[in-house]
A and B are shown apart, each in its own frame.
Chain A
Amino acid sequence: MFTLPSLTVEAGAHVASGAKLSAPIRRPVEPVGKAFMHHAQRTLRNHTWSEFEKLEAERNVKNVEENNVDPDELLFDTDLADPSLLTHDPRDWKTADLYAAMGLSKLRYRANDTQVIKAHRKQVLKYHPDKTSAEGGSLDQDGIFKIIQKAFETLTDSTKRAQYDSCDFQADVLPPKKSGDYDFYEAWGPVFVSEARFSKKSPVPTLGDAKSSKKEVEEFYAFWHRFDSWRSFEFLDEDVPDDSSNRDHKRYIEKKNTAARNKKKTADNARLVKLVERAMNEDPRIKMFKEEEKKEKARKKWEREAGARAEAEVKAKAEADAKAKAEEEAKNAADAKASKKKSKEAAKAAKKKNKRAIRNAAKEADYFGDIDKAAAIDEQIALIVDSLDDDQLVEVADKIKTDAKTALQTIAKTLTDSNKLPASVLSYFL
């Protein structure tokens, strides 16, 4: 071992003037090994050495903690879940909660074989009579240990475990109260998960959620409607006396047990059927699907009838059109009739007027100076007017206004020429 020289300068740091490290060389380091990864992290994150050491130490502590804890251990109970087990009579072990005795009250039927073995070892270390007596307990107080041993015996034998699990009512999840206000999926999901443990078939479909498809939901209920359960109730049997002194009594008990088992099994099946029925009735998805189906049906119907409806529409339209047309026509006809009548009346009035004008023409022209022949003129004019057709009437009425006598003479001549009147009656104008 070497020693340091004794102090010749003042205490403290004295950096030699102009001292400099030799120029470093840049080389690639080999990117392998833990040391390199640490080096990389230091370089990348710019950690100082002490910071890095601190981080590493923290990480190591964490790793050690994580690595040392068996994940199974976390699932076991830390304390006895049911303290009454300590005073439970080991002869009545069947009524004890065996999972609680094993520290598996959280796992129950989910505990696998390794977990059972591990849990048993842990419980034995804690409750072995040697240990408890060493801690001041009496050797007689080994009830809990006996129960643990019974529990281990039961849970490690698959048949016995199935029988026990069948009657492990503590693992049952009860369906929600009917009147209560609950979320369907939250309330019913665990119920079906716990019931699923009795299924002979696997995998068992889960309840799913509001987004599950119709197919999934239908498959789910189809599975549960046809649920095949291995649940049996041997565990609750009354103990069959093993002495052969009373065979009849033994047979009687056995018979009674079988009957009780069957009864319980039937009741359990009925219970499950009711349970599934209730869930199905409450299932908002089923309601939704039904509604959807209804809507779909309506829509289909609507679609299917589209042709007929279109036809009817066309027909109605045609009918309406025809009706409108007829109405219009009728109106037109009425209008025309009215106007015809009017014009007829107007023509009649005009005719009358014309006739009157012609008749009065002579009078107005003071009978053309022949007032004495007035009666004859009037008579002859009346004859002319009566014999005139409509055109002539208009013509004459028109002409009269300018020269009544000439007009009358011309028409008289025309009439006689056409032999409508005999010349004799129109003597004045010829």
Chain B
Amino acid sequence: MSSPVIGISFGNTSSSIAYINPKNDVDVIANPDGERSIPSVLSYVGEDEYHGGQAVQQLVRNPKNTIINFRDFIGLPFSECDATKCANSAPIIDIDGKAGFAITRGEGVEEKITVDEVVSRHLNRLKLAAEDYIGTKISQAVLTIPTNFTGEQKSALIASAAKVGLKIVQFVNEPSAALLAHLEAFPNEKDANYVVADFGGVRSDAAVIAVRNGVFTILATAHNTALGGDNLDDALIEYFAKDFQKKTQSNPRKNARSMAKLRVNSITTKKTLSNATSGTISIDSLADGFDYHTSINRMRFELTANKVFGQFSAFIELVISKANLDLLDIDAVLLTGGVAFTPKLSSNLEFLFPESVEILSAQNKNSSSNPNELSSSGAALQARLISAYDDDELAEALQPVVVNTQHTSKPIGFADSEGNFHPVLLAESSFPVQKKVTLKSAQGNLLLSIYEGEHKIVEKTIESEAKEADDEDSEEYSDDEPEVVREKIYSLGAKLMDLGIKDVKGGLEIAFNLNKDGKLRVTARDLKSTNVVKGEL
């Protein structure tokens, strides 16, 4: 077997690598420190370079030589880079119009490294970790990127990867990769609309993805570079800082080192609170020689960060409205990224969405318990898939002619005896497509009327309140939701054709086939007598 193609999820805050092991399962690769989610941090102490978790610890002691949050800067002109992201670490500087970092190495020698170089070094560390783990040389990778990465950013990534001998075979959008990994682990044959929300450390991305026959179509995307897990950390830090000040009369905010200490420990506490209902924080000599020790329960944390959680929910609503869809059109919300571990996020979403919508977070049994590994797993799955094809075939498949596909704008289906519409081909199905419906009990002379469907949202007010709202959890939503039940209803639209079928003996199979040019063909086949009626439009 030639060397495997690995999947890399390269995030601002953390990265992960995955490959398909010989048993044909996805394996997320841990670095030599045992981290499966490897912080995207590089730190320089003396002559040494630290990477991952070791580098994170340097944020307290050696922040000026520790580079964080550099992913988004790649391929961007310096003017478009957000310098505040690096306020607590190695400052971003201008190197020939591009972003870079000035760090001190060895005996006070200042070294200026461009962000391209930083990315190269980071990818090299990931590559080495993978080689260590797998035991063979790695030369190819599938890399995930946010949906809003530009062509320049992609080519800068390709160049940075090529510098360390890594060929990027394909870029995969993060939400698609995550959804791919989710559907691999929890297959769902049905067509569905997913919201994939990736709440990372410093940015949030969301996409509405329609899955039709396994083909993904991104309907809308939203990005927020000011929202992320760091906002939760900030809220927690602020809470602890206030508490500390009250207890000791000493203000830790004045001292960057104290703040760095507090941040590292708050993050740990936050992670603990995702798994346990209470957590402790204890820091020796936080400020002015005072130690800090306290415990916090999950409820307190959720209240503290309630505003941020509200922003997360609003962000998801935003992307759905961008796709011109209603909450009812969504079948599931897939949460990825570090924040997806936080139980409050999914419980908030459960309130926001109707019950039919599944919230796929770390707590859901129908979902991966490691949402931060979804995207690298998806990349690895894609890597396995494309390693079966040669370069030409892949290039051919990625042509715009193939990728840009016609999608139905309205659902197509048939009417039953009550005049209700049954969609078969949903809206946003990419052509060519074929779907079959089997009516097992159909008998006699039947009329099959093919319609385009319309759908609308109907609001019904019901008298009694079924749900008992939990005071603390749902105070924002409890006002308007319980009284109104909203429903998605299909109605018959334009009639396309009638198929008359005589003497159906037992069961009818109806195949809807929409070819590349948008020609609809409906075939009704009697399962017993193999009598066939065809209609073409």
Which residues in A have some Cβ–Cβ distance to B below 8 Å? 1-16, 19-44, 46, 48-49
* Top-9 shortest CB links A-B: A35-B214, A13-B535, A40-B397, A7-B445, A30-B216, A2-B416, A24-B406, A11-B500, A30-B176
In angstroms, how far is the closest chain B Cβ from the Cβ of A29? 5
With A30-B216, A43-B401 known to touch, is A11 a contact of B501 (CB < 8 Å)? yes
Is the Cβ of B500 less than 8 Å from the Cβ of A30? no
Give the distance in Å from the alpha carbon of A33 to the alpha carbon of B383 in the complex: 10
**Chain B residues within 8 Å of A5, by CB:** 415-417, 446-447, 449
Q: CB-CB contacts of B380-407 with A at 8 A, as 1s and 0s?
A: 0110011001000000111011111111
Tell whether A4 pairs with B500 under 8 Å between CB atoms, given A19-B494, A24-B407, A32-B177: no
B58 nearest CB across to chain A (Å): 36
- Contact between chains at B518 and A4 (CB < 8 Å): no
The distance from the CB of A39 to the nearest CB of chain B, in whole angstroms, is 5
Selected contact of A49 from candidates B173, B449, B495, B513, CB within 8 Å = B513
User: Does B217 lie within 8 Å of A19, measured CB to CB?
Assistant: no
> What residues on B are CB-neighbors of A43 within 8 Å?
401-402, 405, 432, 516
Bound Cα distance from A46 to B382, whole angstroms: 24
**Count of A-B contacts judged by CB separation below 8 Å:** 202
Give chain A nearest CB distance to B439 CB in angstroms.
7
CA of A371 to CA of B428, assembled, Å: 167
Q: Are B447 and A32 neighbours in the complex by a CB distance under 8 Å? A: no
**A10–B501 alpha-carbon span in the complex (Å):** 8
CB distance from A409 to the nearest CB of B (A): 132
The residue on A at minimum CB distance from B498 is A14
A44–B397 touching, CB < 8 Å: yes
Separation of A14 and B534 alpha carbons in the complex (Å): 10
Q: Would you give 12 A-B contacts (Cβ < 8 Å), ordered by A?
A: A2-B417, A4-B416, A5-B416, A7-B445, A25-B407, A26-B407, A27-B405, A28-B405, A29-B430, A31-B172, A34-B385, A44-B402
A38: min CB distance to chain B, Å: 8
Binding site for A on B (CB under 8 A): 170, 172-173, 176-177, 180, 183, 209, 213-219, 378, 381-382, 385-386, 389, 396-398, 400-410, 412, 414-418, 420, 422, 428, 430-432, 434, 439, 441-442, 444-449, 452, 494-502, 508, 513, 515-516, 518, 520, 533-537
Bound Cα distance from A43 to B418, whole angstroms: 38
A49 CB contacts on chain B under 8 angstroms: 432, 434, 513, 515
Shortest Cβ gap from B333 to chain A (Å): 18
How far does the Cβ of A52 sit from chain B's closest Cβ, in whole Å?
9
Which chain B positions have C-beta within 8 A of A31?
A: 170, 172, 397-398, 403
Partner of A16, one of B209, B410, B414, B495: B495
Residue ID in chain A nearest B433 by CB atoms: A49
A-chain residues with CB within 8 Å of residue B422 when the two chains form the complex: 2
| Residues A8 and B494 in contact in the complex (CB < 8 Å), given A33-B385, A42-B432 | no
Q: Which residues of B contact A35 (CB under 8 A)?
A: 213-216
**A4 with B447: CB separation less than 8 A:** yes
Contact assessment for A6 and B405 in the assembled complex, using a CB-CB cutoff below 8 Å: no
CB distance from A8 to the nearest CB of B (A): 6
For B216, what are the chain A residues with a Cβ–Cβ distance below 8 Å? 29-30, 32-33, 35-36
State which of A9, A26, A32 has its C-beta within 8 Å of the C-beta of B405: A26
A5 to B417, CA, bound (A): 4
List A contacts of B406 (CB < 8 A): 24-26
Residues A16 and B497 in contact, CB atoms below 8 Å apart? yes
> Of A9, A21, A23, A34, which one neighbours B537 at CB under 8 angstroms?
A21
Residues of chain B lying within 8 A (CB to CB) of residue A38: 214
Across the interface, do B385 and A3 meet the contact criterion of CB distance under 8 Å?
Answer: no
On chain A, the residues within 8 Å of B400 by CB distance are 28
| B385 contact set on A, CB distance < 8 A | 32-34, 37
* Chain B residues, CB < 8 A from A13: 497-500, 533-536
Q: When chains A and B are docked, how far (Å) is the Cα of A37 from the Cα of B396?
A: 10
Distance of A81 from chain B, by nearest CB (Å) = 32
Tell me how far the C-beta of A174 lies from the nearest C-beta in chain B, rounded to whole angstroms: 39
Q: A2-B420, A8-B447, A21-B537 are in contact. Are A32 and B497 (CB under 8 A)?
A: no
* Residues of B with C-beta under 8 A to A48: 515
Interchain CB contact (< 8 A) of B217 among A15, A27, A40: A27
Please measure, in the bound complex, the distance between the C-alpha atom of A25 and the C-alpha atom of B494, giving whole angstroms.
Answer: 18
| A1 proximity list for chain B (CB < 8 A) | 441
Contact present for B213 and A44 (CB under 8 Å): no
* Chain A residue at minimum C-beta to C-beta distance from B452: A22
Assess the B533–A24 pair: CB atoms within 8 A. Answer: no
B218–A24 CB distance below 8 A: no
In this complex, the member of A29, A43, A46 whose beta carbon has the largest number of chain B beta carbons within 10 angstroms is A29
A10 with B402: in contact, given A21-B452, A32-B216, A49-B434 (CB under 8 Å)?
no
Q: For A19, give its contact among B497, B502, B518, B533 (CB under 8 Å).
A: B497
If A3-B442, A4-B442 touch, does A32 touch B382 (CB 8 Å cutoff)? yes
Chain B residues with Cβ under 8 A from A29's Cβ? Answer: 215-217, 403-405, 430
Cross-chain contact B404 with A7 (CB below 8 angstroms): no
Say how far A49's CB is from chain B's closest CB, in angstroms.
Answer: 4
- B537 — which chain A residues lie within 8 A by C-beta? 15, 19-21
Q: Using CB atoms, name the residue of chain A closest to B411.
A: A22
Q: Which residues of the partner chain A approach B217 to less than 8 Å between Cβ atoms?
A: 27-30
For the complex formed, measure the closest distance between the CB of A68 and the CB atoms of chain B, giving whole angstroms: 14
Q: Which residues of A contact B420 (CB under 8 A)?
A: 2
Q: Check if A39 sits within 8 Å of B430, measured CB to CB.
A: yes
Q: Is the CB of B409 within 8 A of A14?
A: no
Q: Is the CB of A28 within 8 A of B215?
A: no
A4-B448, A7-B502 known; A32 vs B533 contact (CB < 8 Å): no
* Other-chain contact of B441, A3, A21, A28, A32 (Cβ < 8 Å): A3
Inter-chain contacts of B418 with A (CB < 8 A): 2
A24-B518, A34-B214 known; A15+B447 contact, CB < 8 A:
no
**Contact between chains at B180 and A32 (CB < 8 Å):** yes
Distance in angstroms from A34 CB to nearest chain B CB is: 6
In the complex, what residues of B have CB within 8 A of residue A39's CB? 215, 402, 405, 430, 432
Inter-chain contact B518/A9, CB cutoff 8 Å: no
| Chain A residue contacts of B219, Cβ below 8 A | 27
What residue of chain A has the Cβ atom nearest to residue B518's Cβ?
A24
The CA-CA distance from A35 to B210 in the complex, in Å, is: 13
Cα A172 to Cα B534 in complex, Å, equals 70
Which residues in B have their C-beta under 8 angstroms from that of A32?
Answer: 172-173, 176-177, 180, 216, 378, 382, 385
